[in-house]
Structure 1
C-alpha cells in the first residue's frame, strides 16, 4: 500500500476525531521488551487511547484473532505470519524487531543427546509456530542422519507441553521461554537452539504484523507503535538487568527466566530493519533476507501439508509495508 507523506503527518484534529476507542495488541504473556511499555503504559500514552492486551498461546491463535478482527497489532512468529499471508488474511508486516537465537530451544530428557536420539521418541511443539518450523528444519538440515519418519510428534500449547512433560508423556519439546526453562528445571537439557540454523542460512524471527484496515485508518498509530517498541528495546539493551528485574516482577516469574528469554533474542534497530539483511525498504524489500525467509517458510509449510503449494505467493514483498518504519526512522535519531 502506497501512503502519501501527508497520511503519516503528526497527530492533528482530523486524526483525533477518528481515533479508535482502544488499540488491541496480541501477546503471548511471556517476557519480551515491549512488556516494558505495558508496565509504564508508554503505548497508551503515545496513542492517546488505551491498549488492550489480548493473550494467545500460539501463532495459530493469532491468525484466528486477525480473521475475527479481534486484534489490531500482533507480535508473533515468522512462519505463522507467512502462513496467514499465504491464506489471504488482510494483514501486513510492519516490523521485525526480534531475531530468534536461543529463546526457542529443543529440550530433551536425560539420555537424549542429539537429534538422532529422538528416533522412537515423542516430541512436542506448538502448532504452526516458529518452534515447529525450527524443529522440522533442524531434523532436515542438521539432524546427523536422524530419520524424521521415526520421530513421533504432537502439537500442544506451551502450557500443555509442560504438563505433558511432568506426566512423562513426551520425551522432548521445542518451545520458547518461560516454558523451556520450566522443562530444564524438571531435568531437561538443551540439545538444539534456533540459532544453530543460522549456519544453514535460515533466519527465524518474530514480527510485528498489523491488520491492513487498521493500519490504513490509523497510520500515525502504527508509526508511534514502532517508535515506542524501539524505545523499549533500547531500554532493555541499555540496562538488561534492570529491565529484566522490572519484567520479572511485573509478570511474577523468575528473573533468570526473563534474562534467558530476552538474552536469547537479537534486536535490530529500526534503521537496521530497513536494510536488506532484514526487511529492506520500499525499494529493496523484494531482495531482502526476510522476504526470502517468508517464502522459504511458506514453501516448507506446503511441503509438510500445512499450506497448499498453490497458495504460496511468488514473493512476500507485497505483504511487507516498510513505510511506517521509514517514517519512524526519519523522526528518530540514528541508532
Structure 2
C-alpha cells in the first residue's frame, strides 16, 4: 500500500462553544490509498462532540485503525452538542455519529436512528458514571459524603443532559426531590463563570469541564465523583437505511472503534496526548487526568445492561417532562452488528469485565426490564 495525506475536511460546523476555538479547517493524518490490485478504501463520514469520552473516533482515525479496516473516514469538525450531530446525520451530512441521551428525544420527534454500538457505558453492570463530578466552592457547605447538604442549593446542570440525570441520581440517594434544590440550567462552558460569580453553588458536569472548573475558579474543588448513581449512555448511531445497505461497512467501522477503545484503555497517557490534538483548547494535564476516568467507561459491547441503562435514562427524563413517557428502547437498538464484531474479534474485548451470563444477548433480543434488572449487578 502507498501512503498519502488525507485531509479531514469539515462536514459541518456551527457555533462551537467555549473551549472550542472554532472550526479547525481540517487536519491531516496518514492514509492508505490503494496500490496495484488493491481495493480502494470505502469512504465514510463521521461526527463527534468535542468531549473526552468521544475521543475514540478521532484517535482511531489518527492511529490508523480505520485504515486497517480499509475505510477512508472523513471527520466533521466537532459538533457543539449531540443534537447538532443527530441533525447532521439526518441531513445525510455524516454516516455515523456518537450520541447519548439526545437520541431519545430525537427518536420521539421522528428522526430515524439505530444504535449499533457503544462509545461509553458498561455492558457488565447497571450503573457507571466515573466521568461525572460535583464541583463546589469550599464555602458552599456541600459535602459529597452527606448528600442532604444539597438541599436548598443552586445547582448548575444542563437540563435534559446526562449531568441533569446525575443530579437526580444524587437526590434520590439522599432522599430529596428535585424541588428541594434550585436547578439552574447552565451549559458546561458557562459553569466556571456561574460558580465564580455566585450564580450557582455547585456545578455538576462531565470531564474535562469538571477538572477545568477547579483550575479556573479560586476555592473550587471536586466534592464528589462517580459513585454509580446513574448509568452512563453513549452510542454509535447511524440510520436504519445506512445500516441495512452497508452491513460490511458497519462491521468494519465498529471493529475499528473497538480497536481504538482497547488502545485507549491500554494506553491512557498516549490517548491523553491525542486528546490535545483533537479537542481544541484542552491542556495535556487536564486530558491526562480526565483519561484516567474515561477509560473505565470504554466498553463498546452490547448486553441487556445497555438496554436497561437507556430505559432508566428515558424514565428519569420522562419524570422531569423532558421526553414522553413510554419510550420503547427496542426500537432504537440494532445489536446485530456489534454482536458479530464481538464474536469475530473476541481479543478486542478480553481486557473488559466479564458480562454476567444472564445479561448476554443475541440478535433479535427483546428488552424486559425486570429480567435485565436481575441480570445486571448494581
TM normalised by structure 2 equals: 0.69
State whether residues 233 and 267 of structure 1, in contact with CA within 8 Å, keep that contact through their aligned partners in structure 2.
no
Aligned match of 1:183 in 213, 222, 225?
213
Report the 3-state secondary structure (helix = DSSP H, G, I; strand = E; otherwise coil) of the residue aligned with 2:228: helix
| 1:155/1:65 CA distance change after superposition, 3 Å | farther
Match of 1:81 in 2: 103
Tell which has more relative contact order, 1 or 2 (C-alpha 8 A, sep 6+). Answer: 1
Instruction: Tell me the equivalent position of 1:205.
Output: 233
Runs of 5+ in structure 1 lacking a partner? 1-15, 274-278, 281-287
Q: Is the 8 A contact 2:41 2:72 kept in 1?
A: no
Answering whether residue 270 of structure 2 is matched by residue 254 of structure 1, we say: no
Give the match's secondary structure for 1:49: strand
When residues 18 and 333 of structure 1 are mapped into structure 2, their CA distance, relative to the original with a 3 A threshold, is closer
Q: Distance in 1 between matches of 2:238 and 2:163?
A: 22
**TM-fit CA distance, 1:19:** 5.7
- Structure 2: how far apart are the matches of 1:239 and 1:23? 26
Equivalent position of 1:136 in the other structure: 168
Further displaced range: 239-248 or 176-185: 239-248
Q: 1:41 to 1:156 in 2, by over 3 A?
A: farther
Q: 1:196 to 1:30 in 2, by over 3 A?
A: closer
1:294 aligns with 2:304: no
Contact 1:101 1:264 in 2 (8 A): no
Separation in structure 2 between the aligned mates of residue 262 and residue 60 of structure 1, nearest angstrom: 24
Task: Tell me the CA shift for residue 125 of structure 1.
Answer: 1.8
- Structure 1 residue 180, shift from structure 2 partner: 0.8
Asked if residue 56 in structure 1 is aligned to residue 102 in structure 2, the reply is no
Greater helix content: 1
Larger mean Cα displacement after TM superposition, 321-330 or 171-180: 321-330
Q: Does 1:26 align with 2:48?
A: yes
Instruction: Please name the residue that 1:93 is paired with.
Output: 115
Partner of 1:285: none
Matches within 5 A, 1:225-236: 225-236=253-264
**Which residue of structure 1 lines up, in the alignment, with residue 336 of structure 2?**
323
Deviation string 1:187-230 (CA, Å, 9 cap, x unpaired) is 32223334331xxxx42232222222222232222212211111
Change (3 A) 1:65 1:162: farther
1:304 Cα deviation from its structure 2 partner: 0.8
Corresponding residue SS for 1:24: strand
Query: Structure 1 243/26 Cα, relative in aligned 2: closer, same or farther at 3 Å?
Result: closer
Deviations 1:241-291 (Å, cap 9, x if unpaired)?
233233335545323322332222324655xx2xxxxx33xxxxxxx1221
SS class of match (1:27)? coil
In 1: Cα distance, 2:116 partner to 2:206 partner? 23
Structure 1 residues 296 and 126, CA gap change in structure 2 (3 angstroms) = same
CA distance in 1: counterparts of 2:305 and 2:93, whole angstroms? 30
Separation of aligned partners in 2, 1:61 and 1:128: 15
Distance in 1 separating the partners of 2:176 and 2:320 = 17
Task: Tell whether the 8 Å contact from 1:241 to 1:259 is kept in structure 2 after alignment.
Answer: yes
Would the aligned equivalents of 1:126 and 1:155 in 2 still touch at CA under 8 Å? yes
Quote the residue 1:283 is aligned against: none
In the alignment, does 2:203 pair up with 1:173?
Answer: yes
In 2: Cα distance, 1:290 partner to 1:216 partner: 22
1:123 equivalent in structure 2: 155
Give, in whole Å, the separation in 2 of the partners of 1:219 and 1:230.
16
The correspondence of residues 301-312 of structure 1 with structure 2, limited to 5 A, is: 301-309=317-325, 312=326
- CA distance in structure 2 between the aligned counterparts of 1:34 and 1:182, rounded to whole angstroms: 23
Unpaired segments ≥5 residues, structure 2: 1-38, 122-127, 351-378
Name the CA distance, whole Å, in 2 between partners of 1:54 and 1:47. 22
Task: Name 1:152's counterpart in structure 2.
Answer: 182
- The answer for the alignment partner of 1:8 in structure 2 is none
Structure 2: distance between partners of 1:17 and 1:253: 35
